[in-house]
Chains A and B, each alone.
Chain A
Amino acid sequence: MNYTNSVKIALSALKRNKFRAFLTMLGIIIGVASVIVMLAIGQGSKKSIQDQMSGMGTNLIFAMPGAEQKGGVRMGNSDAKNLKLTDIEAIERNCPAISDVSPEVRSSGQAVVGNQNWPTTIYGVNTKYFNIRKYTIGSGRGFSESEIQSYAKVCLVGQTIVENLFGKTDPIGQTIRYKNIPLLIIGVLGEKGENGMGQDQDDLIMAPYTTVQKRILAITHIQSIAASAASEELNDAAITQITESLRSSHKLKAGEEDDFQVRSQAEMVQMFSSISDIMTALLGAISGISLLVGGIGIMNIMYVSVTERTREIGLRLSVGGRGNDILMQFLIESILLSVFGGVIGISLGILATQITASIMSWPVVISVFSVVMAFLVCSAIGIFFGWYPARKAAGLNPIDALRYE
């Protein structure tokens, strides 16, 4: 008995019951298609998070004040005032892996132009900040070192501010009032869109940090430090250097806890990737269950089919079919069912993914891995769930099978 004959026999047996074969395959088709779609959506969202995060700069590093201890009492992070401008100077001196570093001070409030107002955040930064956060200057100019030195009342605004407060008119040269401080708009930031968490990155005003510190917040400390590593490979070195520099300028002894936190964008990307990995795994598991149910459907039908075709099996045995031939026939039937179902399911899944992508405008990524895996799982299901009914068929006694009513 050769395999070509086994396949031919199995194929003609399936052809005799086309509709039932289709119904049996339907479980696998739906299972495979949903696995493909779910994985595509999961991986798509992971990729889009990664893309957007790296759009913010993958070599971005933040330092924020951390838990401060005063006589054994831990203070809240937000009130900590332990980051100073001297820390920035120290970082510039001590950290060769850092290319740019900027202080960051923030304030939230209403920005007013004429009779319009809009709630937004003002960022006080230095000239290098644009480079660090990958902001571009769309029109106008950035502020200069001398403007920083002189607490100049100048600022740049994001696109969202322009849309909400100026409409069609050119904002450059106009004055915007923020907490009653009039600021001259000298430039407009290039559009950046939303970040990975859905925050509008264009809804902000940027001003020299000195201006925000002295004129708006009336503070001398800084709220956080933004820096960028000279290259992505130097990320880890940069984190270590910043940590060392801050520890020494804060005069922390060995064994003392850091009174600041250093976070890198790469870490954030990793964190969000792992969240969407979990989501992908969940979606995959749910659709995997439907694939399993499809497999059980195949087993069920094959089992019924063996009983229903007992006389056929008896006949095949009587004309010289061996137990193994019968086993192969039923096994190949179930493998064909699941593999055909798998191929149809994969095509359907890819189609459904494209439709989802175009209608819902969700990001999707169909990986070769998920297609290959779906296919292998299908074949495995065919063998696994076909085996038991096929064994049953092969073990039939020809005399009993021939007389079966």
Chain B
Amino acid sequence: MSAPEDRPAVPAESPAAEDVARKRTEEPENRWSVAFREIVGGSWGVSVGAVILAIIAGSIMIVATDEGVRAASGYFFGRPGDLLAAAGGAISDAYSALFRGAVWDYRADSFAESIRPLMVSLNYATPLIGSGLGLAVGFRAGLFNIGGQGQMIFAAIGAGWIGFALQLPWPLHMLLAMVVGILAGALWAGIAGLLKALTGAHEVITTIMLNHTAYYLLFFLLATPGLLQAPGSANPKTPAMLESAQMPKLLGSGYHLHLGFLFALAAVVFTWWLMERSKLGLTFRAVGENPHAARVAGIDVSRTTVWVMVVSGALVGLAGVTQVLGTSVTGFSTDVDAGMGFDAITVALLGRSSPLGVLAAAILFGGFRAGGATMQAAEGIPIEIVTVIQSLIVLFIAAPPLVRAILRLPKPGQTPRRKAAQPAKEVAA
């Protein structure tokens, strides 16, 4: 029937060509990119759930480390009620202290004193908003910018230098310092974007390396007289910002909250417009969701990558600028970023990479920071509990898709065999 001699030639595909064809169809199904997208753009329910679970886990740690609870557990079988009472007391003490420190101090005498914690929280939130937005833009475009630290440092160097070295009237001085700082942040991130576009170097690696480069560059500048170091000082610290470059306090000198907060809010609006209403944002999202289709639609994926990093770095740069010109106006040193470049990752994840979500998450984290200090002072609960809660939030959000990707598990609720889902589409249509 099918003797080979009857057959003119074996109609073989060129194996390599077939390989190419196969790769094209398999790539978008890549389980890692699926996991990435689920992590950075999942549902709000997951975000809220992650926060609640993390707080519950935090409670367990508070209970486990509380002296009173440990004492009561010694005679648990004698009087179990004591243990429960002690545990409940420890938790409610801790979280009420957190609330007092973050939102509303109900023990204070005056309204002005009572809202002080909220202002502190918003002040802490300010840089997290900017850097969180920067990360979120990257996430939406499929890029993982871990270089927040370096970009904030670079922005601080730029803004800081303008801030103390030039003599200009307010607000010109402040605005110039801001622009220079933001551009510096954009430039520093843009390097990573350029490296990715030109050589394919992964942005996670290059941004981490650029973090170190920026850190040691700042260290060098601070330790070298005549550069960033305050004159007549041997400390690795810059001079104070000139009055004309500072961001004024919003509600008088009684509160820390400064103009930077409003800039951060403006950045939220701008980012929303950029991602949802601008052509550039559409290309960012298209490249992030499906670079193949973006390419066929004439979008230059490499160039877009550079722009994404530039915008991301600019937003992170805004965070660095508000730190230098608004929060630590007496001069800064190598810890100017205060870990916000990394907290921004959590903020962007928790905020589902949406501008409003980032705003909410940043304020929540600002509150954790402010309240954590009060909790430590009032209840002796280590502030690290707050760090643990933040870390658990990331874990709860990121772990399920990651575990699925690593173990090649199907998403729950979906039929494991993809064929099964297809009739649904056809019939529905």
Instruction: Report whether chain A binds chain B.
Output: no
A residues in contact (CB < 8 Å) with B: none
